[in-house]
Amino acid sequence: MGWASTYIEKLRAGETVSFRPRGNSMTGKIESGQLCTVEPVEADALCVGDIVLCKVNGTEYLHLIKAIQGPRFQIGNNRGRINGWVSANSIYGRCVRVES
């Protein structure tokens, strides 16, 4: 069970969630502690540059879609690090709002 497990369960149930993630990997797009609102999303609506709540190799992230290759999505942070490739079933929601 990771930091986002409760939010992922709610997103899977069709709910919108809000939380304040901590860390600096998304600096410039999301600052540590800002309030992020994430909504459930269909895979065909996802685009490069979207910020998504996802799981890559067992770790939960609120990171960017860096590339899309067929049914796969490359996930990375805003500092140049790539986390890896995932399928749509590992993406739980898209960030639609960031507030202080």
For the chain, give the DSSP string: --TTHHHHHHHHTT--EEE----STTTTTS-TT-EEEEE---GGG--TT-EEEEEETTEEEEEEEEEEETTEEEEE-TTS-EEEEEEGGGEEEEEEEEE-
Instruction: Give the pLDDT confidence of 34-52 residue by residue, as tens digits.
Output: 999 999 999 999 999 999 9
Instruction: Give the pLDDT confidence of 59-81 residue by residue, as tens digits.
Output: 999 999 999 999 999 999 999 99
At residue 78, the pLDDT reads 98
Number of domains present in the structure of the chain: 1
CATH of residue 19: 2.10.109.10
pTM over 0.95: yes
Domain, as residue range, for 93: 5-99
Average of per-residue pLDDT values in the chain:
97
> What is the spatial distance between Cα 29 and Cα 11, in angstroms, rounded to a whole number?
22
